[in-house]
Chain A
Amino acid sequence: MSISLLISALMTGGALLAAPLAKAAAQADTLRIAFQAASDSFAAGRAANLGVQLGAEEARQTGGMVGRPVALVGPSGESGGDPSTGASVVIGGSGGERCEALLAAAEAATALVLNLGCGADSLRTERHAMLFHVGASDSTYRRSPPGSVLWLPALERYGAAQLNERFAARFGEPMTAPAWAGWMAVKIALEASLRARGTDAAALARALLAPGMRFDGHKGRALSFRQADHQLVQPLYAPGGALEEISP
């Protein structure tokens, strides 16, 4: 699937739209998310694209229910941080080739930037106030059992089975770790907006670090961003199913 096809599917997908409800829905600002899509030519990139797609479909349904319209803008490509897109969130970093664009968006600091898969520790510094990391860092992976991942298609507990089955039913393939990261990033973006009661990028970043801000990644425990390095603290799954808490 080409990028443009993917985006048009995002725009029109989600036939199961929530009934038009909350009075607020008509007035609320749209949460605009720019997605620096990966190339479909490698598996992780394609999986991340599909994860973002499912996440966007679900965020549009939930957002529609509670008065926060959600739109994916793009394809944003290298201009992910360009204010002209009107996006208050940029999702990117799904693999090596996309890390430069992600860094550019973080440097622009006009949007909340959610990093899917760039593991460099150099990105995890206080210098990038708007940059937050959904995927784990390279150093965490180095310290973890070989083959540790963010997610496995075979997970069942804590609602993992439901998520894995939704993904498989939607796309006809298993939900791998990059796909989970893409899905999770969109969910985080929407929930930050609901917490902030708005779409201002700086307010979204503050919301991610607000006391008690927790996320359900279908991993059975509350996930949250660490103040020091903006890393999502979460379990990793080692081959064989053991859990490892991330500590980059």
Chain B
Amino acid sequence: MIRRRLLACTAILLLPRPTAGPLAYVSNERDRSISVIDVGAARLVATIPVPGRPRGIRVTGGGRTVLVALSDVQRNRTGSEDAIAVIDAAKRRVVARYAAGSDPEQFDVTPDGRLLVAANEDAGTASVIALPGGKALATLVVGIEPEGVAVSPDGRRAYVTAETSNTVSVIDLAAREVVNNLLVDVRPRAVAVSPDGRLVYVTAEIGGTLTTFDARTGEQVAAVAFGDGDAKPVGVAVSPDGREVYVATGRGNSVAVVDASGRKLLANIPVGRRPWGIAVTPDGRRLLSANGVSNDVSIIEAATRKVVGTVKAGAGPWGIAVAP
């Protein structure tokens, strides 16, 4: 009886303040923290310190867990801070750390939450680890300077970009081997897969393009250029209905909207300075960009393609992920 009441009290104390919308988590590369943003209310609700330089970020377990790639400042060797940090979303603190090879940068998680694939930038490899627990399952050689990672919606494949090789390696997650390598445009950064798994979208920072590949054949089927101006396409995300692709243009200080076929630029939305990470809310109504130089997050209404809110984050926002 007493014990039950105690539990009830604890539960109330631990309950976060009511939120108006989904929560977004932003990795702040320069001040080693994660900003927690209430998207609906457009306000910062918490800041979580992390032990390392955070970059790649994903939400798993239906919003209960936030995973963050941490790197050591010491490059080119596995440093003591290199890890995937596990944050308990309710407690808002780091509860575990998994080894994921040298200098993990971006990563993705299978839809069932059981596998994590991380790009090890300095080692030229991709690490596959089991969740939860973090057991290392495979280390695969991919291109030089691997960067972006995306897992297909069916969880069978992972795509890993490599900035120096201009390649995307296709990993069969069941066999845990690289089954194909696609030649892509110059300095590929991020990769995303359409909800039906048929199309693979790749940004190229120096090429200034988004290129689209047929996932089955590996052939390039479309390309769209963002002009010869300042645009340096980096982060990419697909709307939940698969109809639109969103690209953070870096020095272009905008989020570009491209049609699903990857052929047509539909809109270019000015946001904060140097947007890098990009995410879409699960209902598809809001786009979020993590702006690395203006140290904030732009909240865009997808329907009107207008910025409806700007929220201050930490120093050097890099990646962003939204809880369901």
Contact = CB atoms under 8 A, between A and B. Distances in A.
Given A159-B187, A165-B122, A222-B207, A65 B75 contact: no
A66 B164 contact: no
B76 A165 contact: yes
25 contacts: A16-B141, A18-B181, A21-B179, A58-B164, A58-B165, A61-B124, A61-B143, A62-B164, A62-B166, A62-B167, A66-B181, A162-B121, A162-B145, A165-B75, A165-B76, A165-B122, A166-B122, A169-B76, A191-B166, A215-B186, A216-B163, A216-B166, A216-B187, A216-B205, A222-B206
Interface size bracket, A side: 20 to 34
Interface string A205-248: 00000000011100001100000000000000000000000000
Contacts of A214: 186, 206-207
Given A165-B122, A191-B166, A214-B186, A65 B181 contact: yes
Contact of A22 (B144, B165, B181, B207): B181
B317 interface: no
Interface string A8-39: 00000000111101100000000000000000
Contacts of A166: 76, 122
Contacts of A19: 140-141, 177-178
A161 interface: yes
Interface in B122-158: 122, 124, 140-141, 143-145
B143 A62 contact: yes
A51 B166 CA distance: 19
A62 to B, nearest CB: 4
A129 interface: no
Interface string B159-190: 00001111101000000011111010011000
Interface of B: 75-76, 121-122, 124, 140-141, 143-145, 163-167, 169, 177-181, 183, 186-187, 205-208
Contacts of B124: 16, 61
Contacts of B144: 58, 61-62
A194 B183 contact: yes
Contacts, number: 78
A188 to B, nearest CB: 12
Contacts of B145: 159, 162
Contacts of A215: 186, 206
Which 10 pairs between the two chains have the least Cβ-Cβ distance? A65-B181, A62-B165, A216-B206, A216-B187, A165-B76, A66-B183, A169-B76, A222-B206, A19-B178, A216-B186
A19 B180 CA distance: 10
Contacts of A65: 143, 165, 167, 169, 181
A18 B146 CA distance: 13
Contacts of A221: 206
A189 to B, nearest CB: 14
B141 A22 contact: no
Contacts of A222: 186, 206-208
Contacts of A161: 75
Contacts of A187: 164
Contacts of B187: 159, 216
A161 B76 CA distance: 10
Interface in A24-80: 58, 61-62, 65-66
Nearest to B230: A221
A62 B122 CA distance: 15
Nearest to A17: B141
